[in-house]
Amino acid sequence: MSERDLHGLAASPGVAAGEVWLLDARELPDEPHRGHEAEAAAAVGALAAEAAELGAQAESLRADGLADEAEILVANQLMALDPLLRDEVARLTAELTAPAALRTAAARHAELLAALEDPLLAARATDVRELGRRAARSLAGGVASPPASGPLVVVASDLGPADVAELRTSKAAVVAIALAHGAATSHAAIVARSLGLPMVVALGDDLLAPAARAVVDADDGVVYLEPSLGRRRWAVAEMERLADRRRSLARSRALPPVTHDGQWVTLLCNASTTVEIDAGLAAEADGVGLLRTELAFLEATAWPTEAEHERALAPLLALVPGRVATVRVLDFGEDKTPPFLAGTTERGLALLLDRPDHLAAQLRALLRAAGDAELRVLLPLVESAHQMRSVRALLRTAAADAGWSRPLPPLGAMIETPEAARRAREIALESDFLSLGTNDLVQYTLGYDRTEPLATAASAADPRVLALIAATAEAAHATGVTVEICGESASLPELAALYVGLGVDELSVAPARIDEVRATVRALRADLAAAAATRALAAESQDAALAIARRLLSGELGNEQHEVLGGRGGVLA
């Protein structure tokens, strides 16, 4: 059979090859109806068993330090225990078999959530639908057994987060996931990224046609069914190459992140779980440059209490005594909207300042949980100096209430919109540091929809975005404060090189990218990086700017500069 390529959305990066393990390609057939009471008992019992299984998986994840991923499964467990869902399932069994009732009731609840037109709730709709499918499958004896040999590529119509977590604990050697449907922003994608499983979604129903082997290129969002021998060899070689690269970079962790001409760049990690912090510290990060606090509360039914904040923060901050810990206060809104805020149009700091009591509660909890960490407080989506002054007043009061005896922790502003970048100087005057969130800055500057995976990290190389970053860095240094980049773009070598050239002081990236970024910094000369950044600012396009950065990293730009200066009688330091 010839090779077939299917294009979808990259949800979790990586490349893998293996035998296909096809899950849930068709709806399971129903047995004859056994009577209302028997069917109701079976259906409700399946939901109870599913709830118990979800709880066990959540405990397993929590034991491994994956607290945020565990909370996702706990939320699904609560769905399985929802009395409204159970009642509807029992009512439907008057006419339907237990598996059909489970699928039908779950589908109806999913449709109600999807109709709210909220990206986060739409992701939950997928979780509810998968809950019904899982419970129905359990009545039929579970899913098909995996092929006898591995590695395996799981292929399915869709999967919920519990399904992905279950793959992690199974004995099968799962190396990647390919889904006909699903979303790159789903909870299943979050769990896949946490577990390091490459995943491509939205590939279409053609994916479910019988196939023996697959290659998953989750960097480009392509899956190859019945790949050619050459394609399989490429995938295996790519997997080995990436593994070798990771091992090679890890051997240089003891070396400082300093350019050839002596410019030091502080390397920090982005995190939301203890596992991520541990991984960042193992990679010799200097601390945490972005600790996300909202992910623990995305399923909350009310504003988190002070005690809930402290319980979530204390274990994380205990891991970084004597190190920088930059904690971002709740960044609710848009695709990070918990149920109790459904329908809100506000986001970030504006949302918090409209509810100052809840912001004050988090600040008090943060100060109480800080321990010996070098705490920094980061505010999302700052738009004005007035906002900074308002929060600083709240922080002073919170410090007094919490019995904080040290100087107030540094207060930082996230610059995430073009307007904030234009106001960077006045914001910097009221801040102790600035942090550029390039994910949002790209989307607001270039007009991308935050809920769609259109804006890649490389889009930050667009000269319009680079100009805003340059203006922010200049404003920060003019007022004597440091500036960091905490968006995903900083993990790309080309962008990291340009950011060094623009004078960025700190780069905060995912733990898995720290070694790569350190190697990038050490390969640079700051003066040549500055020259490359100047050229990139004047480039005609994103691709042209990236090409300049690649020439810098290859050494070609340095040779050009040497030739020009040498021709003029100049000397390079």
What amino acid is encoded at 329 in this protein? V
* Cβ count near 230 (within 10 Å): 9
Alpha-carbon distance of 467 to 480, in angstroms, equals 20
CB 213 within 8 A of CB 236: no
First to last CA, the chain: 60
- Residue 451's nearest CA partner among 33, 101, 13, 122 is 122
Catalytic residue among 109, 181, 187, 309: 187
Q: How many CA atoms lie within 13 A of 524 on its CB side?
A: 36
Q: How far apart are CA 106 and CA 92, in angstroms?
A: 11
- DSSP H/E element including 568: none
Q: Give the Cα separation of 61 and 47 in Å (integer).
A: 21
Q: In what order do the strands lie in the sheet with 152-156?
A: 4-7, 222-225, 213-217, 15-23, 152-156, 174-179, 199-201, 9-12
As a whole number of angstroms, the longest Cα–Cα distance in the chain is: 95
DSSP per residue, 440-454: HHHHHHHT--TTSTT
Q: Render the burial of 417-442: b for 16+ CB within 10 Å, e for the rest.
A: bbebbebbeebbebbbbbbbbbbbbb
Is residue 187 part of the annotated active site? The answer reads yes
Residue from 109, 181, 269, 486 carrying the catalytic annotation: 486
Picking from 27, 20, 451, the residue whose alpha carbon sits closest to that of residue 223 is 20
Q: Residue 372 is encoded by which pair of tokens? A: 């010996």
Residue 26 burial by Cβ neighbours in a 10 Å radius (0-12, 13-18, 19+): exposed
Q: Which tokens hold the place of 286?
A: 């200097």
Q: Does the active-site annotation cover 181?
A: no
Active site residues: 187, 486
